[in-house]
Amino acid sequence: MKVCCICGCQIKNRMGENNPAGAMCKDNEGNVVELSFGPEEVCCNDCNNRYVIPGRIYKMTHKEEK
C-alpha cells in the first residue's frame, strides 16, 4: 500500500494514486507556495481535490507577465 505524500494516509487502491505536482497551500504568512515532491510520490484523492487541482488552476490563472 502506498502512502499520501501530503497527508500521510494510506492509499488503498491504484485509482486513489494521483500525481501531486502542482500542489499549493498557504504558508504561515498567507503567501501561496508550491509544494515539491519526488518523482515516485503520490497523493490521495482528497489531497488531489484539496491541494493539487486548485494549485494547478491557480498557477494557470496567475502566470507572471514577462
Nearest to residue 3, comparing CAs of 57, 30, 40? 40
**Which H or E element spans position 45?**
helix 45-47
**Average pLDDT for 58-64:** 84
Stated pTM of the model = 0.85
- Supply the pLDDT for residue 57: 94
Q: Cα separations (Å) of 28 from 1, 25, 31, 43, 49?
A: 32, 10, 7, 22, 21
- Supply the pLDDT for residue 64: 66
**pLDDT tens sequence across 14-41:** 888 999 999 999 999 999 999 999 999 9
Share of the chain above pLDDT 90, in %: 83
Q: What is the mean pLDDT of the chain?
A: 91
